[in-house]
Amino acid sequence: MFAITIDEDVQLDAMQRAWQSKRVPSLFEEPADYQDLFSPLNQNKSRCSSPAPPLSCCDATVEHDVAQDTVQEVLYEEPHEKSQTLDASVLGDLPASYSIHGLKPHQQPVVGVYIDRRVCPGFKYKVQPLPGSKEDDGLPYLFDGKALTLKSIGRGYARRFTFESDKGRFNNENYFWSDNRPEGFGFELELVSDGDKFTVFDANHEAQGTLEILRIKGAQIELSSEVVPEGIKKKAKINFTGKVEFYETGVAKPMPMFGVATCVKAKDKSSAQLIKISNVTIKHHRYYLTPGVNTIHRRVTVRGDEIGDINTKYTMTGLEHYEIPVVGTYVDPRVVPGFCYRVRPNDRKDHLFDGRALRLCSIGMGYAKRLTFAPDSLVSPDNYLWSDSHPDGLGLEPRAVHTGMKFSIMAGDQQLGEASVFRADAPQQEERMERVPTHSGKCAIIKYIHINVTCHVKLANTGGRSPERDEYLMRVYGLAVVRKDPNTSIAYVERVENVGLDSQLNILFACTHTELVFYPLH
């Protein structure tokens, strides 16, 4: 009788287990293993035990909301399992079974014919060989630890994984086969890299500043992968340290933050493109980031009462960082007669006066100030405008060095040669302006302007060499000192200091602690 009761209990338990395995949970019932549903490791285990294929970029994808992202983050902090069993037949491939060890929670396994469905060409991955059963850690990352774009996945029993290379298609050495290592490989997705720059937008889709990623902290955890009309879209959670510079304050301050990066691999593109980073919190406010720094979003706010003028306030959008604002009744104090400027209306790319840098002769009085520049003809002078001529304002770029100017290159008391400016297309930016008292009791105005020009440099003959062999075309960087003395109407270049040459000569001068100074030849 007792034996019969035990057999009935065993049969009842078996029936309950079979019924529970086929039972569909209610919408109002939370599964006991809720967290396991979002774990990539347990997704791999379900592939081995369940005949249904897992979700992938080629199947329907479950979208994660903010609460699920939080669950995902907690899961990845848990210790990962040391060993797993992968069955390739679950993916519709050959019936091969593999046992791997040491796969990290954010890694996607590749071994033999088993290719995790989340691994897609067009996205960037870091690849790490997995450790063996008796090893604690994996081997060093392949390709010097760099994240490279996966170009293709071959076919056959051993799949060839080909990544991008700087050496071209025919000299590409960035590849391996999935069965090169019996222990397998772990792929780590990378959507965002160190040094990437973004534009910061608020909830109203208005640009508020710029952000540069200084360092990615930890792994980038893939949250979802789905097929959309545009192609394949992936989302990943990232933690990083970013340097934020708001347009209003202009202060760049590094701070830790996190967000969800969205990347899309279009059908007609060979690599995925980052779309945005959403849910980024900066100083208790929610923002989203778009790749790149677009100058059309840069805003500058000026106030007339701060310079002792009419109490007006203007906001200009799209002004370059090296341009000085002039709008309405407002003329920036850095705009001084006697110095040269290039003038650009803020609503267009082309400069006025055929793009020439003209000397500012005078600034008028009144509500709208008249800015008069050096005329082309004294008979009919027409190089002038008013500060309110353009509703979007004007951007004035200060210019110190022009094409055709000649300089003497000095290293202390020794003359090394001469330099003639060949091109001066790069922007020149004012660093600061000073007022220096003179013997007459009045003040001279000195501007310090960064320059980046191309020069023909002719060094002094040494050792009987021919003059032709001592001529070079090189780029010159420096800080031009431009001075306007009192009772004069024209500013002049005193010197160019802190000179840097785009040449090996610069290394020679730096090693000998020799400072180069360019003095203008009149």
- Which residues sit opposite 412 in a β-bridge? none
Distances (CA, A) of 83 to 59, 100, 438, 457: 27, 5, 81, 66
pLDDT band at residue 95 under the 50/70/90 scheme: confident
Q: pLDDT (tens digit, 9 = 90+) per residue, 281-300? A: 998 889 999 998 876 667 78
| 3 state DSSP class of 507 | helix
Written as one string, the DSSP assignment of 46-79 is HHHH-SSPPP-TTS--PPP-HHHHHHHHHHHTSP
b/e 77-87 (16+ beta carbons within 10 angstroms → b): eeebeeebebb
Exposed / middle / buried, residue 8 (Cβ in 10 Å: 0-12, 13-18, 19+):
exposed
pLDDT of residue 500: 86
Distances (CA, A) of 399 to 255, 323, 476: 36, 11, 15
Among left, alpha and beta (phi > 0; psi -120 to 50; other), residue 231 is left
8 Å CB contact between 315 and 330: no
State mean pLDDT over 485-498: 93
pLDDT of residue 92: 85
Q: Range with the lowest mean pLDDT among 37-46, 121-130, 310-319?
A: 37-46
pLDDT of residue 19: 47
DSSP 309: S
8 Å CB contact between 151 and 120: no
Among 444, 438, 453, CA closest to 492: 444
Residue 508 has pLDDT above 70, yes or no: no
Radius of gyration (C-alpha) of the chain in whole angstroms: 33
Token pair 């003329």 is found at 331
pLDDT of residue 511: 64
State mean pLDDT over 142-157: 91
Written as one string, the DSSP assignment of 400-462 is ---TT-EEEEEETTEEEEEEEEEE--S--EEEEEEEEE-TTSSEEEEEEEEEEEEEEEEEPP-
Distance CA 353, CA 397 (A): 13
pLDDT band at residue 522 under the 50/70/90 scheme: confident
Chain centroid to CA 354: how far?
Answer: 33
pLDDT of residue 155: 87
Exposed / middle / buried, residue 195 (Cβ in 10 Å: 0-12, 13-18, 19+):
exposed
Residue 161 has pLDDT above 80, yes or no: yes
Residue 309 has pLDDT above 90, yes or no: no
State mean pLDDT over 419-446: 92
Residue 32 has pLDDT above 60, yes or no: no
Among 454, 341, 432, CA closest to 395: 341
Distance CA 47, CA 34 (A): 17
pLDDT of residue 471: 80
Q: What percent of the chain has pLDDT over 70?
A: 79
What pTM was estimated for this model as a whole?
0.57
Distance CA 302, CA 294 (A): 21
Distance CA 135, CA 497 (A): 59
Residue 365 has pLDDT above 60, yes or no: yes
Highest mean pLDDT, choosing among 145-149, 201-205, 246-250, 468-472: 145-149
Distances (CA, A) of 341 to 108, 395, 428: 57, 9, 10
As a whole number, the mean pLDDT across the chain is 81
For residues 379 and 17, the model is more confident at 379
Distance CA 375, CA 377 (A): 5
Q: What percent of the chain has pLDDT over 90?
A: 47
Q: Residue 272 corresponds to which tokens in the numbers above?
A: 């995925």
Distance CA 231, CA 494 (A): 59
Residue 251 has pLDDT above 80, yes or no: no
State mean pLDDT over 270-290: 92
- 5: enclosing H helix or E strand: helix 2-22
Distance CA 211, CA 193 (A): 13
Distance CA 322, CA 332 (A): 13
